[in-house]
Structure 1
């Protein structure tokens, strides 16, 4: 995967993305995460890889200071259209090389982004870099099960799935071990 390929693949995914990843088990998991998260008024919140804005639909965003980024113009346009009357700021930006200053956000949300960027480690480090000291990172993604190897079938189809825009073999534990000195999960 590389950024150019992601632009192409998510241009193709954008018309049907919500039907697949904002429904069923993905929607149930998203709802559970955002029911448990208590955002505070005026917190600076960054949604990394906002996609079509599926996560934003699950929170009361009216009194929150939200910035949302994505690398795909088409996905970002869908999110912007859903929230055109809101104060949410949307930017096209590479999650692996954000243009934000260090220590800028109280909360950083990475939802289904680490498994799609070319370099998940670099993306996580960027998320940590823009996070204020004692801030919180919320990560929702498709990680391989902790302490388990991929099944032979998943190993076999992993290259094809990566070609379709996501990695089903990403290990959170491996990413976490590579973390910088300041992570609050």
Structure 2
């Protein structure tokens, strides 16, 4: 998995992405995640790896300052097309190396991105960096089972799945333990497919002025 390969994969997959990842159980999972997420007026919210804008469809845009980034220009173009009359700012950008200032956003939404980027630790640190103190990171993604090895079947197909642009064997616990300075885990619940997909909320407790990252 690398950025160049991901661009190719998502160029090919962008026409079909919503068919698989914005319908059925995936749509229900997204709806569950945002059901009780009441963003306040004038808050700044960043959608990291926004893809075709599936999450944006579930958020009331009124009085919110929304920014959406994605590394794939083809996926981003799909999202732009859905919200061409909105005030959402769409930017082609690498989630592992964001150009935003420290503490720019009240919320960072990260759906199906930590399992896709080449370096999830770097991506997590970047999300933490651009988040304001007391802000929250909302994660929806798939991770390896907690304190368990992957099944033999999943271990065998992992290289194949990775070649298609996503990793089924990444450990959230590993990512979090490596990079948890200045943040706290607020919520971690199974959301889909017997806990393979999880809803995780991280709260930033320390300002970047204190050099948490």
TM-score of the two chains, using structure 2 as the length reference: 0.85
**Bigger proportion of residues as helix:** 1
1:90 corresponding residue in structure 2? 90
Structure 2 regions of 5+ residues with no counterpart?
185-201, 203-213
User: For 2:173 and 2:46, how far apart are their aligned partners in 1?
Assistant: 23
2:100 paired residue number: 100
CA deviations 1:88-113 (Å, max 9, x no partner) are: 00000000000000011000000000
User: Match of 1:45?
Assistant: 45
Partner residue in 1 for 2:2: 2
State yes or no: 1:120 paired with 2:90.
no
- Secondary structure of the residue aligned to 1:86 is coil
For 1:36, what is the secondary structure of its paired residue?
coil
8 A contact 1:116–1:166 mirrored in 2: yes
Post-superposition shift, 1:36? 2.1
Q: Which stretches of structure 1, 4 residues or more, deviate above 6 A after TM superposition?
A: none
Secondary structure at 1:91 match in 2:
strand
Cα distance in structure 2, aligned partners of 1:42 and 1:127: 20
Q: After superposition, what is the alpha-carbon deviation per residue over 1:53-87, rounded to whole angstroms, capped at 9, x for unaligned?
A: 00000111132110000000000000000000000
Displacement of 1:31 in angstroms is: 0.4
- Within 5 A, what are the aligned runs for 1:16-165? 16-165=16-165
Q: What secondary structure does 1:37 align onto? A: coil
CA RMSD of aligned residues (A): 0.8
Q: Do the aligned partners of 1:158 and 1:167 also contact (CA within 8 Å) in 2?
A: yes
Higher mean alpha-carbon deviation, 175-184 vs 70-79, is at 175-184
Number of residues paired by the alignment?
185
Query: Does the Cα contact within 8 Å between 1:52 and 1:77 map onto a contact in 2?
Result: yes
Greater alpha carbon shift after TM alignment, 66-75 vs 56-65: 56-65
SS at match of 2:142: coil
| Rounded Cα–Cα distance in structure 2 between residues aligned with 1:29 and 1:146 | 20
Question: Aligned with 1:123: secondary structure?
Answer: helix
